[in-house]
């Protein structure tokens, strides 16, 4: 009975642990790394929050178009009260029956307030002449939103490129480590042969020392590659937010390279990329929006010269002051005009004109730089296409050579050293192919980024 219960329990435990193990053992693909980086990267999250911040600023500026309501209230206890005193006879005398009666006939005292004084009120102010300036401020805030969105998109492309660089860097170093390990084994095997020859007196110590130096060099190179792998892994964790101790990478799919005659067509014409970049490049858009923002800032500064005229309405309630009514609704107009600002605002406008000129020069420089970068990157992409085709041939021939050597070893027609030498050459060819693919992907993504695609 106990045996029958133990088997289902073990089965359930294994089923529960299987997904977790499979998740840990599953290698990380390049697409997964890019997706994780776009979700978890802190720099990109900052850009997203900046967009939300600028959108909130637009909503804040839009509120200024509506009436400003202010509510006030106060309480005061007066220890001494004011009085109105009318002395006897202040209004003269009234003759009556041969006698005169003083007016008033005695001193009169009237209090002008109460000890407890309370007032409350609400005031509404609707700006009129400043509505144009407020509208311009909203347009400037919306321009800031567009700038933040373009910077977010640019940061997203930069993160994609950074992931590709690190991912391919790790794959390349792994192949280079395979090459270094094969060279170390080959050198160790040759050293063993030399030591065997020394025992029989067929060689001298010079050959042995040279092989030992080769082994030390390859071990040093292997150590550098391991350090480089640790650096790449740390960068990948930082970009993607992965907390695992070790990361296993999936191999990348090969890049389909068209025939040489159709390579230029597959890459795309240079003129089409230049045309797209002139209107959709993020750097050009940002520079253009910056110029537009400075022009709107000039207009806002010019609108600041207008007097501030608006309508005022409200209601007040008070008790404790006998000279004023308890309830007082009111309506009116208000004008404010700071004459000193008219003088200082001329310098503000002058400064913003200089900023506009700087933005214009920066836009022209950015357009020229993007045009030059598109031409250079298009040339790199064409060159990378040719390099991948050559590198694929080298990998193909080295793989065929390794198969031949393996078949010979099975027949006893060659040595283990031949296999190790071929494996090192194949690892080097694969590393060169990965490097060519990385150059192609970076050039292609650069060209897409420059063209705003």
The boundaries of the domain holding residue 284 are: 24-450
Give residue-wise pLDDT tens across range 153-207. Answer: 888 888 888 898 898 888 888 888 888 888 888 788 777 776 776 676 655 555 6
> pLDDT confidence of 23, banded at 50, 70, 90?
very low
Contacting residues for 438 by C-beta, under 8 A, at least 6 apart: 164, 165, 168, 169, 172
Q: For residue 146, what pLDDT is reported?
A: 94
15 in any annotated domain: no
pTM of the model: 0.70
Burial tier of 318 (Cβ tally within 10 Å: 0-12, 13-18, 19+): middle
Q: Which two tokens stand for residue 383?
A: 């060159």
With a cut of 60, say whether residue 18 has pLDDT above it. Answer: no
More confident residue, 244 or 117: 117
Q: For residue 109, what pLDDT is reported?
A: 84
149 in any annotated domain: yes
With a cut of 90, say whether residue 147 has pLDDT above it. Answer: yes
Computed over its alpha carbons, how large is the radius of gyration of the chain? 43
With a cut of 90, say whether residue 104 has pLDDT above it. Answer: no
What are the DSSP calls for 210-269, one per residue? HHHHHHHHHHHHHHHHHHHHHHHHHHHHHHHT---SS--BPPPPPPP---HHHHHHHH--
350 in any annotated domain: yes
Q: For residue 15, what pLDDT is reported?
A: 41
216-217-219-222 Cα dihedral, nearest 10 degrees: 180
189 in any annotated domain: yes
Question: Mean pLDDT throughout 271-275?
Answer: 86
3 in any annotated domain: no
Q: For residue 19, what pLDDT is reported?
A: 39
Return the CATH number at 129: 1.20.1600.10
Q: For residue 47, what pLDDT is reported?
A: 92
3-state helix, strand, coil in the chain (%, to 5): 70, 15, 15
Q: Which two tokens stand for residue 384?
A: 């990378």
> pLDDT confidence of 122, banded at 50, 70, 90?
very high
Q: For residue 419, what pLDDT is reported?
A: 82
Q: For residue 415, what pLDDT is reported?
A: 73
* Preceding amide of 118 cis, omega within 30: no
384 in any annotated domain: yes
70 in any annotated domain: yes
What is the number of domains present in the chain?
1
More confident residue, 258 or 182: 182
8 in any annotated domain: no
Average pLDDT, the chain: 83
Q: For residue 88, what pLDDT is reported?
A: 81
Q: What end-to-end distance do the CA atoms of the chain give, in Å? A: 67
DSSP-based three-state secondary structure for 318: strand
Q: For residue 286, what pLDDT is reported?
A: 93
Please tell me what DSSP assigns to residue 316: E
């Amino acid at each position: 009975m106990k045996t029958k219960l133990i088997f289902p329990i073990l089965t359930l435990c294994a089923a529960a642990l299987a997904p977790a193990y499979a998740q840990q053992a599953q290698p990380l693909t390049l697409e997964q790394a890019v997706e994780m980086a776009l979700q978890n990267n802190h720099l990109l999250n900052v850009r997203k929050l900046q967009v939300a911040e600028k959108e909130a600023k637009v909503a804040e500026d839009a509120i200024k178009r509506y009436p400003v309501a202010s509510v006030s209230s106060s309480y005061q206890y007066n220890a001494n009260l004011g009085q109105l005193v009318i002395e006897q006879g202040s209004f003269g005398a009234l003759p009556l029956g041969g006698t005169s009666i003083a007016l008033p006939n005695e001193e009169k005292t009237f209090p002008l307030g109460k000890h407890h004084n309370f007032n409350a009120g609400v005031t509404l102010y609707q700006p009129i002449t400043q509505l144009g300036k407020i509208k311009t401020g909203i347009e400037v805030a919306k321009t800031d939103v567009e700038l933040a969105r373009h910077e977010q998109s640019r940061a997203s492309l930069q993160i994609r490129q950074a992931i590709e660089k690190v991912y391919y860097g790790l794959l390349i170093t792994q192949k280079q480590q395979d090459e270094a390990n094969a060279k170390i084994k080959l050198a160790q095997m040759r050293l063993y042969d030399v030591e065997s020859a020394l025992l029989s007196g067929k060689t001298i110590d010079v050959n042995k020392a040279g092989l030992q130096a080769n082994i030390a060099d390859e071990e040093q190179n292997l150590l550098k590659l391991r350090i480089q792998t640790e650096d790449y892994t740390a960068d990948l964790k930082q970009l993607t937010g992965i907390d695992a101790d070790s990361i296993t990478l999936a191999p990348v799919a090969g890049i389909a390279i068209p025939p040489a005659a159709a390579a230029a067509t597959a890459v795309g014409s240079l003129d089409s990329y230049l045309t797209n970049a002139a209107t959709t490049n993020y750097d050009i858009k940002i520079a253009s929006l910056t110029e537009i923002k400075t022009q709107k800032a000039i207009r806002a500064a010019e609108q600041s010269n207008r007097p501030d005229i608006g309508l005022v309405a409200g209601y007040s309630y008070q008790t404790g002051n006998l000279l004023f009514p308890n309830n007082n609704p009111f309506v009116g107009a208000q004008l404010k005009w700071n004459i000193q600002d008219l003088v200082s605002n001329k310098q503000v406008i002058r400064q913003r004109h200089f900023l506009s000129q700087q933005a214009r020069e920066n836009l022209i420089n950015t357009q020229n730089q993007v045009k030059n970068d598109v031409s250079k990157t298009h040339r790199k992409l064409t060159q990378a296409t040719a390099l991948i085709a050559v590198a694929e041939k080298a990998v193909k021939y080295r793989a065929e050579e390794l198969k031949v050597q393996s078949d010979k070893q099975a027949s006893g027609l060659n040595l283990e050293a031949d296999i190790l030498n071929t494996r090192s050459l194949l690892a080097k060819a694969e590393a060169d192919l990965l490097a060519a693919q990385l150059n192609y992907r970076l050039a292609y993504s650069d060209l897409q980024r420059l063209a705003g695609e």
